Structure 1
Amino acid sequence: MTAQLAPQLALLTALRRTTNVTRAAELLGVPQPTVSRRIAALGEALGAPLTVPDGRGIRLTRAAELLADAAERALAAVDAGVRQAREEVDPESGHIVLGFLHLLGRSLVPTLLRGYRADHPGVRFTLVQGSRQDMVDRLTSGELDLALLAPAPVDDPLLDTAVLSEQEIFLSVPTSHRLADRPSAAIEDLKDEEFVLLETGYGLRTITDELCAAAGFEPKIAFEGQESDTVRGLVAAGLGVALLPRFEPGSPAGVAEVPLVPPVGRTIGLAWRRDVVLPPAVLRFRERVRAHPW
């Protein structure tokens, strides 16, 4: 059964992804009748149908879902092996899937990629942005090779992490705010303020929630967003305060950045799966990032 199933692993995953025989055939680059015959043959070998009608499409049976789960894991391992083999033959033709937070895409990621691509122009990158939790989930599921995260996940049993730097967090307030001209501010000063926050799952949101809880209050949420630039814009419009890293190259119009007392910071780190053998191009880029002058 295993020998019979192995050549059809991609078929099962394509059917689950598309829920349509015609689209699965197009995805695999084979005629539709071929897909139908293979489905029927696999069902006969298993002793039960692999698909059932579902509206205008199909869905996998419970038995087929179990096989598709195993197929996806197996194909991920084969994919990794193919990449390693190709890059062993020609390391300059590698492909790196890099995840990072929106906030790190302003200057850090472009700087790292510009220097690396200058030395290795044949290496291709796929860039994925999202919240910290989204990046951790994609990394552990195998969708990403590496991820730049803040705070760095230093105690995740599935991940290895290199801590790269420490980033100070400031209080961002409108320039007309009562705290705008203060040399510093404490979290306790914000008890009655309305906050503009990143959504749950973002590292800065976790930091803000934890600091407010330690100070004995819950932040009053005026707005939630997915990007720090949007949060800053709302602060500049006088719609709330926020805890954010310093804006580079200087404070944005309409926003004052006030140091916190005691100082608050977060680590920036590069993370990768502990149980995966990384392809040569990924390993080389990882070491380049770790050697970057932080």
Structure 2
Amino acid sequence: MTSRYGQAVQIRDLGWLVTVADHQHVSSAADALGTSQPTLSRALARCEAELGARLFERVPDGVRLTPAGALVVDAARDLTSRWTQLTGSLARVLDSGTGLVRLAFLDSMATSLVPSLLRAFHAHAPQVRVQLRQEPGHEIARDFGLGAVDLAVTSAAPEGPYGWHVLQQERLVLVVPGTHAWRGRTEVALAELGSEELITTPAGFGHRQLVDGLLRQAGVAPSISFESQDLATIEGLVAAGLGVAVVPEAFAGHSGTVGLRLTAAGARRTIGLTWRTDRELTPPAQRFLDFVVSGRAGPAPG
């Protein structure tokens, strides 16, 4: 219903209704609210006009609620209470000292880089909560599109309106079983993989795109024996003799594999922190970003 005063009822007006009902007197309510009686009277009239009902009856010693007014004031108490809760909760979420940061990261960074960043940031801002999402790169991209994450640690700078801050670079190696004929070598060329069965991540994953690109440059199209989302699992499958794999150097040897240096110049994985530049970060997320970019998070683990 449209107000004849040309303004819609505001949350403040509903709170003032409750105050008048509690004081049962407009002048006393105005004093309690720190406003003038004419201003309060206009707010009451605005509410009555929009709701299409008289809310108060004037009596010799002040005002009394009408039956319609009692209904409205009950609802106004609930609405203003919920609004206070909402604004309080929102303030806590957005507060740079106590709010929430939503951080996504790749599975392969779960045991080294991300814990290191979180440890440093927690020491810097212990009251800020960090909500974590551990997922593949294409799901991170989807979550950015949905507005479900603020920042992400990924293995490639996304295309489009994204910022990018490099955190570390990792050497890629070829891991082979401990029984493989190449186990005594120190390096291998990608062109030699044509006859090998490759274990890698599924299509669409950032690591798969990186490996596929390196193999294309080397003119190699190896057969894929197994696929896994988890690089540690891939290293374990190699150790079991099910194929070979290109993984970051940190994963080599965990299950008895042997890591061989790749001679390809681009056999490196760059890890960075990314965020949308076409959306304003919340104060807690901006604080996290500023902390990492400043270098105060310390050197990333190699």
Which amino acid in the other structure matches residue 97 of structure 2?
E
Q: Could you tell me how far 1:141 is from its partner in structure 2?
A: 2.3
Aligned residues between the structures? 213
| Cα deviation 1:113-134 (Å, max 9, x = unaligned) | 1121123221111110111121
- Residue 255, structure 1, aligned to residue 257, structure 2: yes
Q: AA paired with 2:157?
A: A
Which of 183, 191, 194 aligns to 1:191? It is: 194
SS at match of 1:92: coil
Q: Which residue of 2 aligns with 1:144?
A: 149
In 2, Cα distance between the equivalents of 1:246 and 1:199? 20
Q: What is the deviation of 1:223?
A: 0.4
Structure 2 Cα separation of the partners of residues 107 and 83 of structure 1: 33
- Residue aligning to 1:71: none
**AA in 1 matched with 2:102:** V
Letter in 2 for 1:192: S
1:270 to 270, 273, 287: 273
Partner amino acid, structure 2, of 1:176: T
Q: Distance in 1 between matches of 2:88 and 2:145?
A: 20
Q: TM-score, normalised by structure 2?
A: 0.65
Structure 2 Cα separation of the partners of residues 116 and 148 of structure 1: 15
Question: What is residue 104 of structure 2 aligned with on the other side?
Answer: 99
Q: Deviations over 1:254-293 (max 9, x none)?
A: 2001100024112111111111111111111112222132
Q: Is the 8 A contact 1:140 1:273 kept in 2?
A: no
- Counterpart CA distance in 2 for 1:91 and 1:253 is 43
Structure 1: gaps of 5 or more residues: 5-80
Offset at residue 86 of structure 1 (A): 4.2
* Identity between Structure 1 and Structure 2 (%): 37
Q: CA RMSD, aligned part only?
A: 2.4
Residue of structure 2 in register with 1:76 after alignment:
none
- 2:57 maps to none
Question: Which stretches of structure 1, 4 residues or longer, exceed 3 Å deviation after superposition?
Answer: 81-88
Gapped regions of structure 2 (runs ≥ 5): 2-6, 9-86
Deviation at 1:165, TM superposition (A): 2.1
Asked whether the 8 Å contact 1:162–1:271 carries over to 2, the reply is yes
Question: What amino acid does structure 1 have at the position aligned with 2:269?
Answer: R
> Would the aligned equivalents of 2:199 and 2:238 in 1 still touch at CA under 8 Å?
yes
Counterpart position of 1:119: 124
> Could you tell me how far 1:87 is from its partner in structure 2?
5.7
The question of whether the paired residues in 1 share the 8 Å contact of 2:191 and 2:218 is answered with yes
Cα deviation for residue 91 of structure 1 reads 2.4
Structure 2: how far apart are the matches of 1:251 and 1:184? 15
Matched with 1:11 is none
Residues 185, 96 of structure 1: CA spacing in aligned structure 2 closer, same or farther, 3 A cutoff?
A: same
Bigger radius of gyration? 2
The answer to whether the 8 Å contact 2:202/2:229 transfers is yes
Distance in 2 (CA, whole Å) between partners of 1:189 and 1:82 is 62
Q: How far does residue 82 in structure 1 lie from its aligned partner after superposition?
A: 8.9
The answer as to whether partners of 1:87 and 1:280 remain within 8 angstroms in 2 is no
- In the alignment, which residue of structure 2 is the partner of 1:235? 238
